[in-house]
Chains A and B, each alone.
Chain A
Amino acid sequence: MNYVIIGASASGMSFAKELRNLDKNCNITLISRDENVYSRCMLHHIISGHRTLKDINFVEDDFFNKYNITWLKGQTVNDLDVNKKILYTDKRSVKYDKLLIGSGAHAFIPPIKNLRESKSIYALRNIEDALSIKDALETKEKIAILGAGLVGVDVLVSLLEKNKKVSIIDMADRVLPLQLDKRSAKVYERKFIEKGASIYTSAKVEEVILDETNDPKAIKLQGGQIIECDMVIVATGVKPNIGFIREGSMEINRGIVTNDKCETSVENIYAIGDVRGVSPIWPLAMKEGKIAARNMVGGDERITDSFALRNSMNFLGVPTVSIGQVNPPDETYEVLTEEGSEYYKKIVYKDGVIYGVILQGEIDYCGAYIELIRNKIDVSHIKYDPFNIGYGDFFEISENGEYKFKAVV
Protein backbone atom coordinates (compact mmCIF):
# COMPACT_ATOMS: atom_id res chain seq x y z
CA MET A 1 0.00 0.00 0.00
CA ASN A 2 1.35 3.41 -0.99
CA TYR A 3 0.38 6.20 1.34
CA VAL A 4 1.18 9.76 0.35
CA ILE A 5 0.99 12.71 2.71
CA ILE A 6 0.95 16.37 1.71
CA GLY A 7 2.35 18.66 4.40
CA ALA A 8 4.99 18.43 7.13
CA SER A 9 3.30 20.44 9.83
CA ALA A 10 1.27 19.37 12.87
CA SER A 11 -1.38 17.35 11.05
CA GLY A 12 0.86 15.61 8.52
CA MET A 13 3.55 14.70 11.03
CA SER A 14 1.07 13.42 13.59
CA PHE A 15 -0.57 11.31 10.88
CA ALA A 16 2.76 9.93 9.58
CA LYS A 17 3.89 8.78 13.00
CA GLU A 18 0.59 7.13 13.86
CA LEU A 19 0.37 5.44 10.47
CA ARG A 20 3.83 3.94 10.83
CA ASN A 21 3.00 2.70 14.31
CA LEU A 22 -0.11 0.99 12.93
CA ASP A 23 1.41 -0.45 9.77
CA LYS A 24 5.08 -1.36 9.80
CA ASN A 25 5.22 -2.43 6.15
CA CYS A 26 3.38 0.16 4.08
CA ASN A 27 5.20 2.71 1.93
CA ILE A 28 4.85 6.23 3.23
CA THR A 29 5.86 9.26 1.19
CA LEU A 30 5.55 12.75 2.56
CA ILE A 31 5.66 15.73 0.22
CA SER A 32 6.16 19.19 1.63
CA ARG A 33 7.07 22.62 0.46
CA ASP A 34 8.83 23.01 3.78
CA GLU A 35 12.41 21.81 3.77
CA ASN A 36 12.42 21.58 7.53
CA VAL A 37 9.99 20.46 10.16
CA TYR A 38 9.10 23.26 12.51
CA SER A 39 6.33 24.53 14.71
CA ARG A 40 4.48 27.36 13.00
CA CYS A 41 3.25 28.54 16.39
CA MET A 42 6.83 29.32 17.38
CA LEU A 43 7.99 31.39 14.41
CA HIS A 44 7.94 34.60 16.45
CA HIS A 45 10.76 33.12 18.54
CA ILE A 46 12.85 33.09 15.34
CA ILE A 47 12.18 36.80 14.83
CA SER A 48 13.15 37.63 18.40
CA GLY A 49 16.24 35.45 18.09
CA HIS A 50 15.31 33.34 21.13
CA ARG A 51 15.26 30.18 19.04
CA THR A 52 16.85 28.78 15.94
CA LEU A 53 15.15 26.73 13.25
CA LYS A 54 16.52 23.59 14.89
CA ASP A 55 15.07 24.65 18.25
CA ILE A 56 11.53 24.83 16.91
CA ASN A 57 11.55 21.35 15.39
CA PHE A 58 8.72 19.59 17.24
CA VAL A 59 9.64 16.00 16.33
CA GLU A 60 12.67 13.76 16.79
CA ASP A 61 15.74 14.81 14.76
CA ASP A 62 15.80 11.51 12.85
CA PHE A 63 12.03 11.34 12.36
CA PHE A 64 11.96 10.34 8.68
CA ASN A 65 14.61 7.65 9.10
CA LYS A 66 13.19 6.37 12.32
CA TYR A 67 9.71 5.92 10.91
CA ASN A 68 10.94 4.90 7.46
CA ILE A 69 9.24 7.67 5.53
CA THR A 70 10.35 8.95 2.14
CA TRP A 71 10.42 12.72 2.35
CA LEU A 72 10.12 14.76 -0.84
CA LYS A 73 10.96 18.11 0.66
CA GLY A 74 11.01 21.48 -0.97
CA GLN A 75 8.35 20.39 -3.45
CA THR A 76 5.07 22.13 -4.06
CA VAL A 77 2.06 20.08 -5.10
CA ASN A 78 0.58 21.83 -8.11
CA ASP A 79 -2.03 19.42 -9.35
CA LEU A 80 -3.99 16.39 -8.17
CA ASP A 81 -5.64 13.94 -10.53
CA VAL A 82 -8.08 12.04 -8.32
CA ASN A 83 -9.11 9.69 -11.12
CA LYS A 84 -5.61 8.51 -11.96
CA LYS A 85 -4.51 8.85 -8.35
CA ILE A 86 -1.48 10.92 -9.25
CA LEU A 87 -0.05 14.08 -7.71
CA TYR A 88 2.09 16.49 -9.66
CA THR A 89 4.65 18.52 -7.78
CA ASP A 90 6.83 21.19 -9.35
CA LYS A 91 9.51 18.50 -9.78
CA ARG A 92 7.82 15.15 -10.42
CA SER A 93 4.69 13.05 -10.33
CA VAL A 94 3.77 10.75 -7.44
CA LYS A 95 1.27 7.89 -7.50
CA TYR A 96 -0.73 6.99 -4.42
CA ASP A 97 -3.21 4.42 -3.21
CA LYS A 98 -4.34 6.52 -0.30
CA LEU A 99 -3.75 10.23 0.15
CA LEU A 100 -3.71 12.40 3.25
CA ILE A 101 -4.01 16.14 2.65
CA GLY A 102 -2.52 18.21 5.43
CA SER A 103 -1.44 21.08 3.23
CA GLY A 104 -2.39 23.72 5.79
CA ALA A 105 -3.17 27.32 5.06
CA HIS A 106 -1.49 30.52 3.93
CA ALA A 107 -1.65 34.04 5.23
CA PHE A 108 -4.57 36.05 3.96
CA ILE A 109 -3.62 39.50 2.67
CA PRO A 110 -6.76 41.63 2.83
CA PRO A 111 -7.80 43.78 -0.14
CA ILE A 112 -6.62 47.08 1.29
CA LYS A 113 -5.59 49.83 -1.11
CA ASN A 114 -1.87 49.56 -2.00
CA LEU A 115 -1.29 46.68 0.43
CA ARG A 116 -0.69 43.96 -2.13
CA GLU A 117 1.27 46.37 -4.37
CA SER A 118 3.59 47.48 -1.63
CA LYS A 119 7.12 46.27 -0.98
CA SER A 120 8.16 45.49 2.60
CA ILE A 121 4.91 43.67 3.31
CA TYR A 122 5.30 40.52 5.34
CA ALA A 123 3.14 37.80 6.79
CA LEU A 124 4.18 35.18 9.32
CA ARG A 125 3.32 31.67 8.31
CA ASN A 126 6.49 29.97 7.10
CA ILE A 127 10.08 29.89 8.26
CA GLU A 128 10.99 31.92 5.19
CA ASP A 129 8.63 34.64 6.41
CA ALA A 130 10.23 34.69 9.84
CA LEU A 131 13.74 34.83 8.41
CA SER A 132 12.92 37.60 5.96
CA ILE A 133 11.25 39.63 8.70
CA LYS A 134 14.34 39.13 10.81
CA ASP A 135 16.58 40.30 7.95
CA ALA A 136 14.40 43.29 7.21
CA LEU A 137 14.57 44.40 10.83
CA GLU A 138 18.23 45.21 10.34
CA THR A 139 17.21 48.31 8.43
CA LYS A 140 13.55 48.88 9.34
CA GLU A 141 12.59 50.75 12.47
CA LYS A 142 8.90 51.61 12.34
CA ILE A 143 6.71 48.57 11.93
CA ALA A 144 2.94 48.47 11.57
CA ILE A 145 1.19 45.20 12.38
CA LEU A 146 -2.25 44.70 10.87
CA GLY A 147 -4.33 42.46 13.12
CA ALA A 148 -4.08 42.03 16.88
CA GLY A 149 -4.93 38.34 17.08
CA LEU A 150 -2.56 35.77 18.53
CA VAL A 151 -0.13 35.95 15.61
CA GLY A 152 -0.11 39.73 15.51
CA VAL A 153 0.50 39.99 19.23
CA ASP A 154 3.21 37.31 19.15
CA VAL A 155 4.98 39.40 16.52
CA LEU A 156 4.39 42.58 18.47
CA VAL A 157 6.08 41.19 21.56
CA SER A 158 9.11 39.95 19.65
CA LEU A 159 9.52 43.33 17.93
CA LEU A 160 9.19 45.24 21.20
CA GLU A 161 12.04 43.12 22.54
CA LYS A 162 14.12 44.36 19.63
CA ASN A 163 13.31 47.94 20.60
CA LYS A 164 11.48 48.72 17.40
CA LYS A 165 8.80 51.34 17.15
CA VAL A 166 5.73 49.16 16.66
CA SER A 167 2.12 50.02 15.95
CA ILE A 168 -0.59 47.37 16.04
CA ILE A 169 -3.95 47.98 14.43
CA ASP A 170 -7.21 46.07 14.78
CA MET A 171 -10.84 46.65 13.86
CA ALA A 172 -12.03 45.29 17.22
CA ASP A 173 -12.15 47.45 20.33
CA ARG A 174 -9.33 45.50 22.00
CA VAL A 175 -6.35 43.29 21.32
CA LEU A 176 -6.98 39.54 21.09
CA PRO A 177 -10.72 40.08 20.57
CA LEU A 178 -11.48 36.40 20.01
CA GLN A 179 -9.84 35.30 23.24
CA LEU A 180 -10.25 38.14 25.70
CA ASP A 181 -12.75 40.60 27.09
CA LYS A 182 -11.99 44.29 27.55
CA ARG A 183 -10.76 43.91 31.12
CA SER A 184 -8.23 41.17 30.38
CA ALA A 185 -7.15 42.75 27.08
CA LYS A 186 -6.43 45.98 28.94
CA VAL A 187 -3.86 44.24 31.12
CA TYR A 188 -1.86 43.35 28.04
CA GLU A 189 -2.48 46.66 26.27
CA ARG A 190 -1.02 48.53 29.24
CA LYS A 191 2.04 46.31 29.27
CA PHE A 192 2.56 46.69 25.52
CA ILE A 193 2.26 50.46 25.76
CA GLU A 194 4.72 50.49 28.66
CA LYS A 195 7.19 48.71 26.38
CA GLY A 196 6.70 51.33 23.71
CA ALA A 197 3.92 49.98 21.50
CA SER A 198 1.23 52.15 19.90
CA ILE A 199 -2.13 50.42 19.87
CA TYR A 200 -4.92 51.38 17.48
CA THR A 201 -8.17 49.55 18.23
CA SER A 202 -11.60 50.11 16.64
CA ALA A 203 -9.47 51.18 13.71
CA LYS A 204 -10.01 50.42 10.06
CA VAL A 205 -7.15 50.69 7.61
CA GLU A 206 -8.05 52.75 4.57
CA GLU A 207 -4.82 52.50 2.63
CA VAL A 208 -1.11 52.03 2.73
CA ILE A 209 0.70 55.19 1.68
CA LEU A 210 3.67 54.34 -0.53
CA ASP A 211 6.77 56.26 -1.48
CA GLU A 212 8.02 56.55 -5.07
CA THR A 213 9.71 53.13 -4.88
CA ASN A 214 6.55 51.44 -3.59
CA ASP A 215 7.86 51.08 -0.07
CA PRO A 216 5.32 51.79 2.66
CA LYS A 217 5.56 55.21 4.27
CA ALA A 218 2.49 55.15 6.44
CA ILE A 219 -0.85 53.53 7.18
CA LYS A 220 -3.87 55.74 6.75
CA LEU A 221 -6.86 54.89 8.92
CA GLN A 222 -10.46 55.68 8.14
CA GLY A 223 -10.98 59.10 9.63
CA GLY A 224 -7.64 60.26 8.34
CA GLN A 225 -5.23 59.31 11.10
CA ILE A 226 -1.74 58.59 9.78
CA ILE A 227 0.60 55.99 11.29
CA GLU A 228 4.16 56.23 10.02
CA CYS A 229 5.89 52.99 9.15
CA ASP A 230 8.60 51.58 6.93
CA MET A 231 7.45 48.00 7.13
CA VAL A 232 4.06 46.27 7.39
CA ILE A 233 3.33 42.85 8.88
CA VAL A 234 -0.05 41.37 8.05
CA ALA A 235 -1.68 39.07 10.60
CA THR A 236 -5.29 39.00 9.52
CA GLY A 237 -6.00 35.30 9.32
CA VAL A 238 -5.37 32.42 6.95
CA LYS A 239 -6.89 30.66 3.96
CA PRO A 240 -6.65 26.93 3.23
CA ASN A 241 -4.05 25.71 0.70
CA ILE A 242 -6.30 24.11 -1.89
CA GLY A 243 -4.87 25.56 -5.10
CA PHE A 244 -3.80 22.12 -6.37
CA ILE A 245 -7.31 20.69 -6.25
CA ARG A 246 -9.09 20.70 -9.60
CA GLU A 247 -12.37 22.47 -9.62
CA GLY A 248 -15.30 20.14 -9.02
CA SER A 249 -13.09 17.16 -8.16
CA MET A 250 -13.66 17.40 -4.42
CA GLU A 251 -16.19 19.04 -2.16
CA ILE A 252 -14.89 22.39 -0.95
CA ASN A 253 -16.51 24.90 1.36
CA ARG A 254 -13.87 27.46 2.23
CA GLY A 255 -11.61 24.48 2.99
CA ILE A 256 -11.81 20.80 2.12
CA VAL A 257 -15.02 19.31 3.45
CA THR A 258 -14.63 16.12 5.48
CA ASN A 259 -16.84 13.90 7.58
CA ASP A 260 -16.06 13.01 11.18
CA LYS A 261 -13.78 10.21 10.01
CA CYS A 262 -11.63 12.82 8.20
CA GLU A 263 -12.74 11.44 4.80
CA THR A 264 -13.15 13.87 1.92
CA SER A 265 -15.80 13.46 -0.78
CA VAL A 266 -13.24 11.43 -2.77
CA GLU A 267 -12.62 7.82 -1.83
CA ASN A 268 -9.23 7.14 -0.25
CA ILE A 269 -8.48 10.81 0.23
CA TYR A 270 -8.52 12.20 3.74
CA ALA A 271 -7.94 15.79 4.87
CA ILE A 272 -7.00 17.16 8.28
CA GLY A 273 -5.80 20.33 9.94
CA ASP A 274 -6.00 23.89 8.69
CA VAL A 275 -6.80 22.86 5.11
CA ARG A 276 -10.32 22.04 6.32
CA GLY A 277 -10.83 25.72 7.10
CA VAL A 278 -12.50 24.96 10.44
CA SER A 279 -11.13 24.71 13.99
CA PRO A 280 -7.57 25.67 13.09
CA ILE A 281 -5.77 24.90 16.32
CA TRP A 282 -2.75 22.74 16.95
CA PRO A 283 -4.25 20.14 19.32
CA LEU A 284 -7.08 19.35 16.93
CA ALA A 285 -4.71 18.98 13.98
CA MET A 286 -2.63 16.54 16.02
CA LYS A 287 -5.68 14.58 17.06
CA GLU A 288 -7.09 14.47 13.55
CA GLY A 289 -3.75 13.06 12.39
CA LYS A 290 -4.16 10.07 14.65
CA ILE A 291 -7.81 9.53 13.84
CA ALA A 292 -7.23 9.76 10.08
CA ALA A 293 -4.39 7.23 10.30
CA ARG A 294 -6.50 4.76 12.26
CA ASN A 295 -9.37 5.08 9.81
CA MET A 296 -7.14 4.84 6.78
CA VAL A 297 -5.85 1.44 7.87
CA GLY A 298 -9.40 0.20 8.29
CA GLY A 299 -10.45 1.52 11.69
CA ASP A 300 -13.64 3.34 12.52
CA GLU A 301 -12.86 6.23 14.75
CA ARG A 302 -14.71 9.54 14.85
CA ILE A 303 -13.62 13.06 15.64
CA THR A 304 -15.43 13.68 18.90
CA ASP A 305 -13.65 16.90 19.72
CA SER A 306 -13.94 19.91 17.46
CA PHE A 307 -13.93 22.39 20.29
CA ALA A 308 -11.58 25.09 19.06
CA LEU A 309 -12.47 27.93 21.41
CA ARG A 310 -9.56 27.35 23.70
CA ASN A 311 -6.29 29.14 23.91
CA SER A 312 -3.59 29.88 26.37
CA MET A 313 -1.15 32.73 26.06
CA ASN A 314 1.78 34.10 27.94
CA PHE A 315 2.80 37.62 27.04
CA LEU A 316 5.31 39.62 29.09
CA GLY A 317 5.03 37.23 32.00
CA VAL A 318 1.24 37.25 32.31
CA PRO A 319 -0.39 33.91 31.52
CA THR A 320 -4.00 33.80 30.36
CA VAL A 321 -6.35 30.99 29.52
CA SER A 322 -9.48 31.56 27.47
CA ILE A 323 -12.03 28.79 27.01
CA GLY A 324 -15.42 28.92 25.32
CA GLN A 325 -17.74 31.89 25.02
CA VAL A 326 -15.92 34.48 27.12
CA ASN A 327 -18.14 37.37 26.12
CA PRO A 328 -21.80 36.61 26.88
CA PRO A 329 -23.91 36.68 23.69
CA ASP A 330 -26.92 38.18 25.49
CA GLU A 331 -28.27 39.17 28.89
CA THR A 332 -29.60 35.76 29.81
CA TYR A 333 -26.07 34.76 30.81
CA GLU A 334 -24.70 35.44 34.24
CA VAL A 335 -21.19 36.87 34.43
CA LEU A 336 -19.13 36.22 37.54
CA THR A 337 -15.80 37.92 38.06
CA GLU A 338 -13.13 37.92 40.69
CA GLU A 339 -10.02 40.05 40.63
CA GLY A 340 -6.94 41.14 42.51
CA SER A 341 -3.89 43.16 41.61
CA GLU A 342 -2.24 40.19 39.90
CA TYR A 343 -5.18 38.18 38.63
CA TYR A 344 -8.56 38.30 36.95
CA LYS A 345 -11.08 35.51 36.62
CA LYS A 346 -14.34 35.49 34.73
CA ILE A 347 -17.01 32.87 34.29
CA VAL A 348 -19.91 33.09 31.84
CA TYR A 349 -22.67 30.95 33.29
CA LYS A 350 -26.28 30.05 32.55
CA ASP A 351 -28.69 27.52 34.06
CA GLY A 352 -25.99 25.57 35.84
CA VAL A 353 -23.69 25.34 32.82
CA ILE A 354 -20.41 27.20 32.36
CA TYR A 355 -20.09 28.59 28.83
CA GLY A 356 -16.85 30.46 29.06
CA VAL A 357 -13.88 31.17 31.29
CA ILE A 358 -11.05 33.67 31.32
CA LEU A 359 -8.29 33.11 33.83
CA GLN A 360 -5.54 35.69 33.84
CA GLY A 361 -2.51 35.72 36.12
CA GLU A 362 -3.34 32.43 37.83
CA ILE A 363 -4.00 29.41 35.66
CA ASP A 364 -2.68 26.46 37.68
CA TYR A 365 -4.72 23.24 37.56
CA CYS A 366 -7.40 24.91 35.42
CA GLY A 367 -7.92 22.19 32.79
CA ALA A 368 -11.21 20.84 34.13
CA TYR A 369 -13.00 23.88 32.70
CA ILE A 370 -12.31 22.61 29.18
CA GLU A 371 -14.27 19.45 29.80
CA LEU A 372 -17.07 21.23 31.65
CA ILE A 373 -17.51 23.82 28.89
CA ARG A 374 -17.01 21.50 25.93
CA ASN A 375 -19.57 19.00 27.20
CA LYS A 376 -21.89 21.54 28.84
CA ILE A 377 -21.70 19.59 32.09
CA ASP A 378 -24.17 20.78 34.70
CA VAL A 379 -22.30 22.09 37.72
CA SER A 380 -25.29 23.37 39.67
CA HIS A 381 -24.92 20.56 42.23
CA ILE A 382 -21.71 22.23 43.34
CA LYS A 383 -23.08 24.77 45.71
CA TYR A 384 -20.01 26.74 46.53
CA ASP A 385 -17.66 29.04 44.64
CA PRO A 386 -17.75 28.23 40.89
CA PHE A 387 -14.22 29.61 40.64
CA ASN A 388 -13.06 26.66 42.70
CA ILE A 389 -14.52 23.87 40.65
CA GLY A 390 -11.88 21.30 39.86
CA TYR A 391 -11.52 17.82 38.52
CA GLY A 392 -11.89 16.53 42.08
CA ASP A 393 -15.58 17.34 41.84
CA PHE A 394 -15.93 14.88 38.97
CA PHE A 395 -13.36 12.33 40.05
CA GLU A 396 -13.69 8.76 38.84
CA ILE A 397 -11.11 6.10 38.02
CA SER A 398 -11.06 3.82 34.99
CA GLU A 399 -10.11 0.16 35.16
CA ASN A 400 -6.58 0.93 33.93
CA GLY A 401 -6.04 3.64 36.51
CA GLU A 402 -6.71 6.58 34.19
CA TYR A 403 -9.02 9.37 35.24
CA LYS A 404 -12.42 10.02 33.73
CA PHE A 405 -15.22 12.45 34.44
CA LYS A 406 -17.96 11.12 36.64
CA ALA A 407 -21.36 11.48 35.04
CA VAL A 408 -23.49 13.95 36.93
CA VAL A 409 -26.95 12.62 37.75
Chain B
Amino acid sequence: MKRIKIDKNKCMACYNCILACMMEHNEKGKDIYSLDLEDKSNECRNHIEVNHSKENIPIFCRHCDEPECVNTCMSGAMKKNPHTGYVEYDEEKCASCFMCVMSCKYGVLKIDEETKSKIVKCDMCENRETPRCVENCPTRAIYFEEV
Protein backbone atom coordinates (compact mmCIF):
# COMPACT_ATOMS: atom_id res chain seq x y z
CA MET B 1 0.00 0.00 0.00
CA LYS B 2 0.95 3.62 -0.31
CA ARG B 3 1.28 5.90 2.67
CA ILE B 4 1.67 9.65 3.14
CA LYS B 5 5.15 9.85 4.59
CA ILE B 6 6.16 12.64 6.92
CA ASP B 7 9.37 14.60 7.41
CA LYS B 8 8.46 16.87 10.29
CA ASN B 9 11.63 18.94 10.00
CA LYS B 10 10.47 20.24 6.65
CA CYS B 11 7.03 21.29 7.90
CA MET B 12 6.62 25.05 8.15
CA ALA B 13 2.99 24.85 9.26
CA CYS B 14 2.01 26.81 6.15
CA TYR B 15 -1.37 25.01 6.16
CA ASN B 16 -1.35 24.36 2.42
CA CYS B 17 -2.18 20.74 3.22
CA ILE B 18 -5.09 21.82 5.37
CA LEU B 19 -6.50 24.03 2.63
CA ALA B 20 -5.98 21.25 0.08
CA CYS B 21 -7.93 18.80 2.22
CA MET B 22 -10.76 21.26 2.73
CA MET B 23 -10.93 22.05 -0.99
CA GLU B 24 -10.94 18.40 -1.97
CA HIS B 25 -13.81 17.62 0.40
CA ASN B 26 -15.87 20.70 -0.40
CA GLU B 27 -19.18 19.72 -1.95
CA LYS B 28 -19.61 23.17 -3.47
CA GLY B 29 -16.54 22.89 -5.67
CA LYS B 30 -12.94 21.84 -5.39
CA ASP B 31 -11.20 25.08 -6.30
CA ILE B 32 -9.92 27.75 -3.95
CA TYR B 33 -12.66 30.20 -5.00
CA SER B 34 -15.38 27.85 -3.74
CA LEU B 35 -13.72 27.39 -0.38
CA ASP B 36 -15.36 28.98 2.63
CA LEU B 37 -13.02 28.59 5.58
CA GLU B 38 -15.86 29.11 8.02
CA ASP B 39 -18.03 26.36 6.53
CA LYS B 40 -18.17 23.75 9.28
CA SER B 41 -19.38 21.02 6.94
CA ASN B 42 -16.03 21.09 5.28
CA GLU B 43 -13.48 20.30 7.94
CA CYS B 44 -9.92 19.28 7.36
CA ARG B 45 -9.16 15.62 8.01
CA ASN B 46 -5.63 16.13 9.21
CA HIS B 47 -3.96 18.69 11.42
CA ILE B 48 -0.64 20.09 12.52
CA GLU B 49 0.30 20.04 16.16
CA VAL B 50 2.89 22.25 17.73
CA ASN B 51 4.61 20.21 20.39
CA HIS B 52 6.36 21.26 23.60
CA SER B 53 9.63 21.85 21.72
CA LYS B 54 7.76 24.20 19.36
CA GLU B 55 8.17 21.79 16.48
CA ASN B 56 5.47 21.47 13.82
CA ILE B 57 4.12 17.94 13.82
CA PRO B 58 1.92 16.93 10.88
CA ILE B 59 -0.70 14.51 12.23
CA PHE B 60 -1.97 12.58 9.23
CA CYS B 61 -3.88 9.30 9.36
CA ARG B 62 -1.42 6.40 8.92
CA HIS B 63 -4.04 3.91 7.72
CA CYS B 64 -2.24 1.63 10.19
CA ASP B 65 -1.39 -2.00 9.50
CA GLU B 66 -3.26 -2.89 12.72
CA PRO B 67 -5.63 0.04 13.03
CA GLU B 68 -6.96 0.52 16.53
CA CYS B 69 -9.89 2.57 15.22
CA VAL B 70 -11.07 -0.50 13.28
CA ASN B 71 -10.41 -2.83 16.17
CA THR B 72 -12.44 -0.73 18.51
CA CYS B 73 -15.36 -0.02 16.19
CA MET B 74 -18.44 -1.87 17.38
CA SER B 75 -20.65 -0.92 14.46
CA GLY B 76 -18.45 -1.98 11.55
CA ALA B 77 -18.22 1.62 10.33
CA MET B 78 -14.41 1.64 10.36
CA LYS B 79 -12.96 -0.97 8.01
CA LYS B 80 -9.54 -1.66 6.60
CA ASN B 81 -9.84 -2.27 2.88
CA PRO B 82 -7.74 -5.38 2.22
CA HIS B 83 -7.02 -4.33 -1.37
CA THR B 84 -5.94 -0.72 -0.91
CA GLY B 85 -4.84 -0.99 2.72
CA TYR B 86 -6.78 2.17 3.50
CA VAL B 87 -8.99 2.53 6.54
CA GLU B 88 -12.43 3.51 5.31
CA TYR B 89 -15.20 5.10 7.33
CA ASP B 90 -18.90 4.58 6.66
CA GLU B 91 -20.87 7.34 8.33
CA GLU B 92 -24.16 5.53 7.73
CA LYS B 93 -23.03 2.60 9.89
CA CYS B 94 -21.40 4.76 12.54
CA ALA B 95 -23.17 4.77 15.91
CA SER B 96 -21.34 7.88 17.19
CA CYS B 97 -19.86 6.09 20.20
CA PHE B 98 -16.51 7.80 19.60
CA MET B 99 -14.47 4.82 20.77
CA CYS B 100 -12.26 5.38 17.71
CA VAL B 101 -11.53 8.97 18.70
CA MET B 102 -10.38 7.79 22.09
CA SER B 103 -8.52 4.75 20.79
CA CYS B 104 -6.35 6.30 18.09
CA LYS B 105 -3.31 6.82 20.24
CA TYR B 106 -1.86 9.19 17.69
CA GLY B 107 -4.78 11.56 18.18
CA VAL B 108 -5.74 11.66 14.50
CA LEU B 109 -9.51 11.55 14.86
CA LYS B 110 -12.08 14.13 15.86
CA ILE B 111 -15.84 14.61 15.96
CA ASP B 112 -17.34 16.76 13.23
CA GLU B 113 -18.26 20.28 14.31
CA GLU B 114 -21.51 20.52 12.43
CA THR B 115 -23.52 17.48 13.54
CA LYS B 116 -21.30 16.27 16.41
CA SER B 117 -22.16 12.74 15.33
CA LYS B 118 -19.62 11.81 12.69
CA ILE B 119 -15.91 11.18 12.54
CA VAL B 120 -13.62 13.39 10.50
CA LYS B 121 -11.30 10.91 8.83
CA CYS B 122 -8.78 10.88 5.97
CA ASP B 123 -10.04 8.97 2.92
CA MET B 124 -6.79 9.31 0.93
CA CYS B 125 -8.74 11.37 -1.63
CA GLU B 126 -10.64 8.43 -3.09
CA ASN B 127 -10.61 9.61 -6.69
CA ARG B 128 -7.11 10.97 -6.97
CA GLU B 129 -3.86 9.20 -7.60
CA THR B 130 -2.01 11.38 -5.12
CA PRO B 131 -3.77 12.86 -2.10
CA ARG B 132 -4.28 16.55 -2.58
CA CYS B 133 -2.48 17.51 0.63
CA VAL B 134 0.67 15.89 -0.72
CA GLU B 135 0.35 17.73 -4.03
CA ASN B 136 -0.02 21.00 -2.20
CA CYS B 137 2.91 20.65 0.17
CA PRO B 138 5.60 23.10 -0.97
CA THR B 139 8.44 21.64 1.13
CA ARG B 140 7.89 17.89 0.70
CA ALA B 141 7.27 17.56 4.42
CA ILE B 142 4.64 15.10 3.30
CA TYR B 143 5.20 12.81 0.33
CA PHE B 144 3.45 9.76 -1.07
CA GLU B 145 5.30 6.44 -1.17
CA GLU B 146 4.77 2.72 -1.45
CA VAL B 147 5.55 1.04 1.87
A39 with B111: CB separation less than 8 A: no
Residue on A nearest B93 in the bound complex, by CB: A55
Number of A-B contacts (CB under 8 A): 136
Q: How many positions in chain A have a CB within 8 Å of any CB in the partner chain?
A: 48
B17-32 residues at the A interface, CB under 8 angstroms: none
A62 at the interface (CB under 8 A from B): no
* B116/A317 in contact, CB under 8 A: yes
Closest to B112 in A: A364
Contact B72 A286 (CB under 8 A): yes
Identify B51's interface contact among A287, A367, A392, A403, CB under 8 A.
Answer: A392
Residue B128 at the chain A interface, CB threshold 8 Å: no
Interface string of B48-83 (1 = CB under 8 A from A): 011110010101001011101001111110000000
In the complex, the answer to whether B108 meets A367 with C-beta atoms within 8 Å is: yes
A81 to chain B, nearest CB (A): 34
Q: How far is the CA of A10 from the CA of B73 in the complex (A)?
A: 10
Q: Is the CB of A391 within 8 A of B107?
A: yes
- B59 near A365: Cβ-Cβ < 8 Å: yes
Assembled-state Cα–Cα distance A10/B75 (Å): 10
Q: Are A400 and B102 in contact (CB under 8 A)?
A: no
Minimum Cβ distance to chain A for residue B82 (Å): 8
- Taking a contact as CB atoms under 8 Å apart, the answer to whether B72 and A283 are in contact is yes
A364 touches B105 (CB 8 A): no
Whole-angstrom CA separation of A403 from B106 in the bound complex:
7
A320: nearest residue on chain B (CB-CB)?
B98
- Within residues 352 to 409 of chain A, which ones have a CB less than 8 A from any CB in chain B? 363-368, 370-371, 381-384, 390-393, 395, 397, 400-403, 405
B83-117 to A contact mask, C-beta < 8 Å, 1/0: 00000000001011111011111111111000010
Chain B, residue nearest A42 (CB): B95
CB proximity of A344 to chain B, nearest CB, Å: 16
Q: Which residues of B contact A (CB under 8 A)?
A: 3-6, 8, 47, 49-52, 55, 57, 59, 62, 64-66, 68, 71-76, 93, 95-99, 101-111, 116, 145, 147
| 18 further interface pairs, Cβ-Cβ under 8 Å (given A364-B109, A397-B6, A401-B4) | A41-B74, A58-B73, A58-B75, A283-B68, A283-B99, A312-B97, A312-B98, A364-B101, A365-B108, A366-B102, A367-B102, A370-B105, A384-B52, A391-B107, A392-B50, A401-B147, A402-B64, A402-B65
